[in-house]
Amino acid sequence: MAVRKKTSAIKNPPKHLLGIQNLSVQEAKQILKEAKEFISLNRSSSKKLDVLRGKTQINLFFEPSTRTQSSFDLAGKRLGADVMTMNMNNSALKKGETLIDTAMTLNAMHPDLIVIRHQDSGAPNLLSQKVNCAVINAGDGRREHPTQALLDALTIINRKGKIEGLKITICGDILHSRVARSNIYLMNMLGAEVNVIAPKTLMPKSIERLGAKPFTDMKKGLDGSDIVMMLRLQNERMQGSFLPSKREYYEFFGLTPEKLKYANKDALIMHPGPMNRGVEIDTKLADDINVSLVKEQVELGVAVRMACLKIYCK
């Protein structure tokens, strides 16, 4: 990465969406503004536009994904782009091809956009140095998931009318979560106060330097919160002995109607999915349309991704 070969130097490097860290407040607001306009389009009967007609979008997924992948797929199609989705789980990579080689191969097909999901932090950054088109990060390792944070922001704005001045609390496996990191950056940029709650073994070092106040106690952490974002607890964390058991986790960190009372009266719940009902969240609570924004998040995800594709495809 440190060395760039002159032969592969890129002329007029396009802008990429690699992470919220690289966005300015203005750019973030522009994406949200653009996305808002797609919400009604997506609810209408004729959903197709042709702003990306003739453009090629490649979805490069090295990690399995349901909602992010289908969301990007649909977003591209609704804007009229030719969308190709490649699931790289059992492809050339298994034959020893490096990410750079894959990038070069795809680049030769002249795509206008590459959407990448990769298990290694920093993979989209590496890719962006080697291709001539815009790269959109659809989640890399535990680093960033910018479109998820943007759709979360849009969902909050849609319900609460604003983000500035709100207290947003993220709860769960912060250590391994790219969603948490992107949200910490974005919510701070948009003027919210951010709390994070996690057991000590799942709390990353120096998280306060990213702009979040750490708590290990739900009662203290949820106090005064307007938004409660729950994160998925991955099963393999038990094997790594980050935690003693699921039921102990649920006891102390699972969101129940009782614990939700520590937050503000009109607090709303979010979850990036997929959910583990009964592990991080009470199942009734998750389905309660009065407090849960989970379905709305998925819906607005398409709008946000349409906005990103439109803005970055140039």
Partner 1 sequence: MKEKIFINARIIDPSQKMDEKGSLILDKNGKVKAIGKNVKKSDGESSAEIFDIKGNVLIPGIVDMKAFVGEPGYEYKENFRTLSQAALAGGVTSIVTMPNTKPIIDNVSMVDFIIRRGRDKAAVNLFPCASITKQTEGKLMTEFGLLSLRGIVGFSDVNKTVQNTELMARIMDYASDIGVLIMQHAEDYELSKNSCINDGEIATRLGLEGVSQIAEKIIIERDLSLLSEYPCRYHINQISSKKSLEVIKKNKSNGKKFSVGVSINNLSLNENDIGEFKTFLKLSPPLRLEEDRLSLVQGIKENLIDVIVSDHIPEDEESKRLPFSQAATGAIGIETLLPLALEMHHNESLPLNKIIETLTINPAKILQINKGTLAKGSDGDICVLDLDAPWLVKAEKLKSKSKNTAIEGRKLQGKILMTFLNGELVFNQ
List the one residue from 206, 239, 241, 290 that touches partner 1 (CB under 8 A).
206
Cα distance between residue 117 and residue 70, in whole Å: 13
Q: How far is the CB of 113 from partner 1 (least distance, A)?
A: 21
Binding track, positions 130-159, relative to partner 1; x by CB under 8 A: ----------xxxxx---------------
Please report the DSSP string for the chain in residue order.
Answer: -----GGGPPSSPPP-B--GGG--HHHHHHHHHHHHHHHHHHHSS-----TTTT-EEEEEESS--SHHHHHHHHHHHHTT-EEEEEEGGGSGGGGT--HHHHHHHHHTT--SEEEEEESSTTHHHHHHTT-SSEEEEEEETTTB-HHHHHHHHHHHHHHHS--TT-EEEEES--TT-HHHHHHHHHHHHTT-EEEEE--GGGS-TTGGGGT-EEES-HHHHHTT-SEEEE-PPPTHHHHTTSSS-HHHHHHHHSB-HHHHTTS-TT-EEE--S---BTTTB-HHHHH-TTTB-HHHHHHHHHHHHHHHHHHH--
Binding marks (x or -) toward partner 1, 207..236, rule CB under 8 A?
A: x-xx--------------------------
Closest CB to partner 1 among 140 and 173? 140
Residue range at the interface with partner 1 (CB under 8 A); choices 24-32, 95-103, 147-155, 297-305: 95-103
Q: Does 173 bind partner 1 (CB under 8 A)?
A: no
User: What minimum distance in Å lies between the beta carbon of 125 and partner 1?
Assistant: 6
- Cβ at position 178, least distance to partner 1 in Å: 6
Site for partner 1 (CB under 8 A): which residue of 11, 94, 110, 205?
Answer: 205
- Dist CA 290 CA 178 (whole Å): 27
- Among the listed ranges 96-104, 186-194, 253-261, 289-297, the one in contact with partner 1 (CB under 8 A) is 96-104
DSSP codes of every residue in 118-159: ESSTTHHHHHHTT-SSEEEEEEETTTB-HHHHHHHHHHHHHH
Q: Which lies closer to partner 1 via its Cβ, residue 91 or residue 283?
A: 91
At its nearest, how many Å lie between partner 1 and the CB of residue 189? 15
Instruction: For the CB of residue 3, give the shortest distance to partner 1 in the complex, in Å.
Output: 6
Minimum separation from the CB atom of position 72 to partner 1 (A): 20
Closer by beta carbon to partner 1, 205 or else 265: 205
Q: Of these, 14, 80, 122, 214, which contacts partner 1 (CB under 8 A)?
A: 122
Q: Minimum distance between the CB of residue 98 and partner 1, rounded to whole angstroms?
A: 6
Smallest distance, partner 1 to C-beta of residue 120, A: 4
Q: Considering beta carbons, is residue 35 or 150 the nearer one to partner 1?
A: 150
Binding site for partner 1 (CB under 8 A): 1-3, 5, 21, 98-100, 118, 120-123, 125-126, 140-144, 178, 181, 204-207, 209-210
